[in-house]
Structure 1
Amino acid sequence: MKKVAFYTLGCKLNFSETSTLARLMEQHGYERVEFNQQPDIFIINTCSVTDNADKKCRKIVREAQKINPDGYVAILGCYAQLKPKEISEIPGVDVVLGAAEKFRLHELMPTFVKVPAGQPAQVFNSPIEEAIDYHAAYSLNDRTRTFLKVQDGCDYPCAYCTIPLARGKSRSDTVANVVRAAHEIAGRGRATGAVKEIVLTGVNIGDFGSVNGEKEATFFDLVQALDEVEGIERFRISSIEPNLLTDEIIAFVAQSKRFVPHFHIPLQSGSNKILALMRRRYKRELYIDRVQKIKELMPNACIGVDVIVGHPGETDAEFKETYQFLNELPVSYLHVFTYSERPNTTALTIKPTVPGNIRADRSKMLHILSDKKRRAFYDSQVGQDATVLFEEDIADGQMQGFTENYVRVIAQYDPLLINEMLPVRLTAVNADGLMEVTEPELILEKH
């Protein structure tokens, strides 16, 4: 039995697909091992959102060669679709699989051959227009939470983004199939107990519902159906475009049995001029409306924001506009991305470009703002009662978990707490910015 190891770069969607590919390999006679356990085959699932993701791929290939110089290295994922020739020339890489081929990994594996040193890797890469099939996926046994893929691809031509080039057109599973997968996850569970939380993931999940080119349902239809799934205590929406986050979705989550009050809503810029250059499908006024609606119905909801700094055309004045916009919004944290040039994107034609040192300065400013926002949100939650799902990550005798509204909690390690969802009182924010809670021993005594 050959040993295979996986390494995932990038988003929750990649993690869901890696986990599914690993299970397929196991079903076809391969033994899954950790990356450092001398596998015969290394599978690296790549991202290509930024230039840094490409560099990470090269580094992981080098690490694989150190672990097992005779090991077989396969690269798949977004980077593999966008730059197959470039990857094929990386020393140590044996095969490259594009978007239409990655779920055929187990079928193609018997045809793979170890490439002699100095020779380019085998490449299986079709034009992105051929990536039309939808492949269901979910993670299992990798983390306390499960990532459930509900949608793939994107029809939004944002100026800075390569995702449509890497994943193809927007397409989805059916509501029935997603619900069936959620029931399957609830039934399969994990070694430490049943799965308690599912995170819905995709490229543009608000665009859910396109099946075989036809619009068959909406994301709201899916949310309503999943709310009835027994055996899963929490559903979390990973990220949703502001123009697709409707009043009915927000109102439903506010009274839902299982969907938690946590939204991650990409903004990218607080300047309408830059939003237009980015080819985004909304203005800042709509974003304000979405945030206000959430806070009106769920005052304790956590709201995360994606923002890009240094996009071509962004002047100091427009960056300050973004900074002030975010500073005044009642959001909880930021995911800050520094713009990086990506081949075949329209942003490359926009002038002037922003110098790298200015991009770095702007990024630093927003990271500091994010820390302040998170601290203010956490401080507002002190004294509240919440429910925490405790995770397996343990460091220095302590463990962490998340409340329903995404407050990261710290507690003394207790193996009985792992993968348990327990009520706590949020008592104080510590020096590291983590929320302290009532003693776990007291929690366990009551349950």
Structure 2
Amino acid sequence: MKKKVAFYTIGCKLNYAETSTIARKFSDLNYEHVSFNGFADIYVINSCSVTKNAETEFKCIVRYAMRKNEKAFVIAIGCYAQLYPKEVSEIIGVDLVLGYEEKFHIIDYLNQINFSKKNSPAKILFSKETCSYSYFSSYSIGYRTRSFLKIQDGCDYKCSYCVIPIARGPSRSESIETILKNIKYLLKKGVKEIVLTGINIGDYGKKIFHKNERRTYTFFDLIQEINQIKEIEMGRIRLSSIEPNLLKNECIEFLSKSKHFVPHFHIPFQSGSNYILGKMQRRYRKELYQEKVKTIRHLIPNAYIGSDVIVGFPGETHRYFLETYHFMKKLDISSFHIFTYSHRPNTKSYYNTQQGDHVSKKIQKKRNKILRILSKRKYRFFCEKQIHTKKTVLFEKNSNNEYLYGYTENYIRTKISFIPTFINTLQDVILKEIDEKDGIMIAQSIHEMNST
């Protein structure tokens, strides 16, 4: 009988791309893919370590898997497993911990291990240095209407709060040849939206892993090449997060004229105080960020501009928080994610926290709430400006037979009356109003309007 295997992903889009790639390694073998919510013989959990909450979530997911099958073989992969393999191996229920390189050879290790019995503590297969030079192509397919395509991995930046450079090594890139090949393949497989993802995609071009590559490329070179793909008429391309100092004006101008890249930017900010940005070791000041937003708004007025902000960073006094609040209030962005600072061992900010330069959890929570309210107001204002305009929505498969849900090209969550033939298709709609119950934009299909 086939062994049943289930997968669970915590964290970023890059993790989803890698989970899907790893899952496909099981497809042609003696394994049956099943939902993580059901019984499985093997549970593979792709972990995250950006925050302490992500590590806590991992432990909860392990317990959840054990409740489904107490004899199941649990495999830990991802950044948490890479950074703290011994700690992860001691979590009750975990049987195997694979490092960055090892997770991509998971089948080889399973063939060598008796996974019919539990291991306590878990077996660790881990080569810490390999992530400094290895690169593994990855993309997601099959689970969603969109695909996350990995174009870059690792990071050369040394932000004082971040463990990702330690977990994933230095910046390195996929070859343009392979990226174009993967995009064509995904489009032919029926994927309607491809999200270019990585740890620091604006840094694309460093250490390209392809024997035929003889020149240095930039992110600007890449998007120009992608824009020329013939098959791209079948779908659309979206960018994931890109650093403000790496989002060059020539890129913004090019994207403003592209029919294939959607008007959506996610530009991490982190703080509206130049003093705090300095302590974070970010590579820009708030004036540069403001300039990027103004450039986008000038060239692409209806673009969605999202961001990230960290509250409670060590040394963030009330004055510095107010600088952030007032700066974000004036900034013409669409919404932003708020992260409460989480001190990570082996980072520079962690040692500052240990020295007493910390913000209490009570104040962190209060500041988080204040910014969440501001973000919701901004998103509402952004959506209201789009009412009565024509947009294109990629509708997703769901279990609700009353509505279909999807996102416009400029990232507005939208719903229409259920039309089964619209699932996994791009449809032109007119945005009508915001549903006060869930905050989702109600739209009407142009096709439906024309037929009536």
What is the TM-score with the length of structure 1 in the denominator? 0.95
Residue 14 of structure 2 corresponds to 13
Residue 74 of structure 1 corresponds to 75
Percent identical residues: 48
C-alpha distance after superposition, 1:191-228 (max 9, x if no partner): xxx21110011000000112358972111111111112
Residue 97 of structure 1 corresponds to 98
Secondary structure at the counterpart of residue 206 of structure 1: helix
CA–CA distance in structure 2, aligned partners of residues 93 and 390 of structure 1? 37
8 A contact 2:428–2:447 mirrored in 1: no
8 A contact 1:197–1:236 mirrored in 2: yes
C-alpha distance after superposition, 1:273-307 (max 9, x if no partner): 00000000000010001000000000001000111
Structure 1 pair 292/215, CA: closer, same or farther in 2 (3 Å)? farther
CA–CA distance in structure 2, aligned partners of residues 148 and 229 of structure 1? 15
8 A contact 1:20–1:137 mirrored in 2: yes
8 A contact 2:96–2:124 mirrored in 1: yes
1:231 matches 2:231:
yes
One-letter code aligned to 2:14: L
8 A contact 2:430–2:445 mirrored in 1: no
8 A contact 1:332–1:373 mirrored in 2: yes
After TM superposition, list the pairs within 5 Å mapping 1:153-232 onto structure 2. Answer: 153-187=154-188, 189=189, 194-211=190-207, 216-232=216-232
Residue 132 of structure 1 corresponds to 133
Residue 365 of structure 1 corresponds to 370
Residue 5 of structure 2 corresponds to 4
Residue 262 of structure 1 corresponds to 264
CA–CA distance in structure 1, aligned partners of residues 72 and 446 of structure 2? 45
CA–CA distance in structure 2, aligned partners of residues 19 and 294 of structure 1? 33
Return 5+ residue gaps in structure 1 as ranges: none
After TM superposition, list the pairs within 5 Å mapping 1:334-413 onto structure 2. Answer: 334-350=336-352, 351-395=356-400, 397-413=402-418
CA–CA distance in structure 2, aligned partners of residues 282 and 255 of structure 1? 27
C-alpha distance after superposition, 1:326-361 (max 9, x if no partner): 100110011110001111010012252000010000
Structure 1 pair 430/384, CA: closer, same or farther in 2 (3 Å)? same
Secondary structure at the counterpart of residue 359 of structure 1: helix
C-alpha distance after superposition, 1:360-402 (max 9, x if no partner): 0000011101100000000011121111111113447222111
CA–CA distance in structure 2, aligned partners of residues 429 and 397 of structure 1? 17
1:414 matches 2:419:
yes
Return 5+ residue gaps in structure 2 as ranges: none
Structure 1 pair 89/209, CA: closer, same or farther in 2 (3 Å)? same
What is the TM-score with the length of structure 2 in the denominator? 0.94
1:435 matches 2:441:
yes
The alignment yields a C-alpha RMSD, in angstroms, of 1.7
Secondary structure at the counterpart of residue 397 of structure 2: strand
CA–CA distance in structure 1, aligned partners of residues 42 and 160 of structure 2? 37
Residue 441 of structure 1, CA deviation: 6.5
8 A contact 1:9–1:47 mirrored in 2: yes
Secondary structure at the counterpart of residue 26 of structure 2: helix
CA–CA distance in structure 2, aligned partners of residues 153 and 52 of structure 1? 22
After alignment, is 157-166 or 396-405 more displaced? 396-405
One-letter code aligned to 1:198: I
